[in-house]
């Protein structure tokens, strides 16, 4: 989502970074470029003005002009201001009350409320170990009720039944009574949306809010709506006490304006990001990490957390033990690494979290990395077990058979084998000399910006 904004801000910061001393004129020029970058990202104008003035006042202060590294200090000022604009720190859900804690989902039709309800239910069930019940109060669209029932089944949580024509307040009250009977920890209430904000919709959700007094009222907003997201958020905030925001469709081609606008307009913290269609694609929003990502410095902490969560630790340990003991790495191990990578999501989302990931993505613009991973797995699957364990036996006739079996040209098989040999050499370095030797070996092969500056 932040690709264009990252690119523009990187150019601004690169022009400042090498300066031995910053003048007022240089800071004003950088501020103008920052303003243009934010406006292009569809950030609301009042937010842009506040943000740029904040940067200028700090940058023109004594701390920048007297600094030995003014370029780095300017980057620090921009990062601090971005973090504060995005909310300062992560705000967890407030579930510390007598169960069931009620979460009300609000937003326009098509913003992703129902999908987000399922994702949130799964997150609370798996990470917080909560017993969750969901209910749909969208009595205008039968498909919405059925969709929530299906999603609840997929993530393994209870779904209270409702039907078109029922009173939303009556549905929510009955669901609350049932949640108490079932000793549910959390009840998530999915509400009706409209294509636009209208008075009837606002009256209905205000009545629902008053009847069930939710501990959390989350405003779900499509991040691709840009400045319109801020206007919609303000309309809801005027009628409801919003406790948090969920930005959806962050993996799309949104320009990032909604993230920077909604927090300041509503005063409610962004709590989650929807980063894909699958039920596990909901991320906790960390303002400092997102600010770092926007400035092209990556988000290594989120990448580590995702790796710990999604990589099979037993298989990883077995490979480590095998390398240590035999120093052998074969194509079966290589395939397993590819499959683990697929489990972690798209390559674009992984690169987005690496320092210099934006530059690497630009270099790989015409390469479908996810397709390449799938093709690699298909080629290895076309090999015999003996060939996977002893890749050196794969000669010309075997390559032709493998290529035919996986539906690719022989050149693709050759490319895979070269890639495997490079990886095997790196793995041997890890086994014999540890991570320091691997990093030295990789340093000369990686694009500029991929490794942090020392």
111 annotated as ligand-binding = yes
Distance CA 33, CA 205 (A): 42
68 annotated as ligand-binding = no
129 annotated as ligand-binding = no
Contact 140, 164 (CB under 8 A): yes
192 annotated as ligand-binding = yes
81 annotated as ligand-binding = no
254 annotated as ligand-binding = no
Q: Measured on CA atoms in the order 228, 231, 237, 239, is the torsion positive or negative?
A: negative
194 annotated as ligand-binding = yes
356 annotated as ligand-binding = no
392 annotated as ligand-binding = no
88 annotated as ligand-binding = no
232 annotated as ligand-binding = no
257 annotated as ligand-binding = no
Three-state SS across the chain?
Answer: CCHHHHHHHHHHHHHHHCCCCCCHHHHHHHHHHHHHHHHHCCCCHHHHHHHHHHHHHHHCCHHHHCCCCHHHHHHHHHHHHHHHHCCCCCCCCCCCCCCCEEEEEECCCCCCHHHHHHHHHHHHHHCCCCCEEEEECCCCCHHHHHHHHHHHHHHCCEEECCCCCCCHHHHHHHHHHHHHHCCCCEEEEECCCCCCCCHHHHHHHHHHHHHHCCCEEEEEEEHHHCHHHHHHHHHHHHHCCCCEEEEECCCCCCCCHHHHHHHHHHCCCEEEEECCCCCCCEEECCHHHHHHHHCCCCCHHHHHHHHHHHCCHHHHHHHHHHHHHHCCCCHHHHHHHHHHHHHCCCHHHHHHCCCCHHHHHHHCCCCCHHHHHHHHHHHHHCCCHHHHHCHHHCCHHHHHHHHHHHCCCHHHHHHHHHHHHHHHHHHHHHHHHHHHHHHHHHHCCCCCCCCCCC
249 annotated as ligand-binding = yes
110 annotated as ligand-binding = yes
251 annotated as ligand-binding = yes
Burial class (CB in 10 A: 0-12, 13-18, 19+), 145: buried
Residues at the annotated binding site? Answer: 107-114, 190-194, 248-251
Residues at the annotated binding site for GTP? Answer: 107-114, 190-194, 248-251
């Amino acid at each position: 989502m932040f690709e264009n904004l990252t690119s523009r801000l990187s150019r601004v910061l690169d022009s400042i970074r090498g300066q031995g001393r910053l003048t007022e004129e240089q800071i004003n020029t950088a501020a103008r470029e920052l303003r243009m970058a934010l406006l292009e990202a569809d950030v609301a104008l009042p937010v842009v003005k506040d943000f740029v003035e904040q940067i200028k006042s700090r940058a023109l202060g004594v701390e920048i002009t007297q600094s030995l590294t003014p370029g780095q200090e300017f980057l620090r000022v921009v990062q601090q201001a971005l973090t504060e604009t995005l909310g300062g720190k992560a705000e967890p859900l407030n579930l510390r009350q007598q169960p069931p804690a009620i979460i009300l989902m609000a937003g326009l039709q098509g913003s992703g409320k129902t999908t987000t309800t399922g994702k949130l239910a799964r997150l609370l069930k798996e990470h917080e170990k909560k017993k969750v019940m969901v209910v749909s109060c969208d009595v205008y669209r039968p498909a919405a009720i059925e969709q929530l029932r299906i999603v609840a089944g997929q993530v393994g949580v209870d779904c209270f039944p409702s039907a078109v024509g029922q009173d939303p307040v009556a549905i929510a009250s009955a669901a609350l009574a049932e949640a108490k009977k079932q000793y549910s920890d959390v009840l998530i209430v999915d509400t009706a949306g409209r294509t636009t904000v209208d008075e009837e919709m606002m009256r209905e959700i205000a009545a629902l809010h008053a009847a069930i007094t939710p501990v959390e009222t989350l405003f779900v907003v499509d991040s691709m709506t840009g400045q319109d997201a801020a206007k919609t958020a303000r309309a809801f905030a005027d009628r409801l006490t919003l406790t948090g925001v969920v930005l959806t469709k962050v993996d799309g081609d949104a320009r990032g304006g909604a993230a920077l606008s909604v927090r300041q307009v509503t005063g409610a913290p962004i709590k989650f990001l929807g980063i894909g269609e699958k039920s596990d694609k909901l991320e906790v929003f960390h303002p400092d990490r997102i600010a770092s990502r926007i400035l092209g410095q990556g988000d290594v902490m989120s990448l580590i957390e995702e790796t710990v969560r999604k990589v099979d630790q037993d298989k990883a340990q077995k490979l480590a033990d095998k390398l240590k003991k035999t120093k052998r790495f074969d194509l079966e191990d290589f395939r397993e690494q590819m499959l683990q990578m697929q489990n972690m999501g798209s390559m674009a989302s992984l690169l987005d979290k690496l320092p210099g990931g934006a530059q690497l993505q630009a270099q790989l613009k015409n390469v479908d990395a996810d397709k390449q991973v799938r093709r690699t797995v298909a080629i290895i699957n076309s090999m015999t077990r003996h060939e996977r364990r002893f890749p050196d036996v794969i000669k010309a006739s075997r390559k032709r058979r493998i290529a035919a079996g996986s539906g690719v040209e022989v050149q693709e098989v050759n490319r895979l084998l070269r890639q495997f040999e490079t990886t095997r050499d790196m793995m041997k370095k890890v086994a014999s000399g540890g991570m320091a030797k691997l990093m030295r070996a990789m340093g000369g092969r990686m694009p500029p910006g991929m490794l942090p500056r020392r």
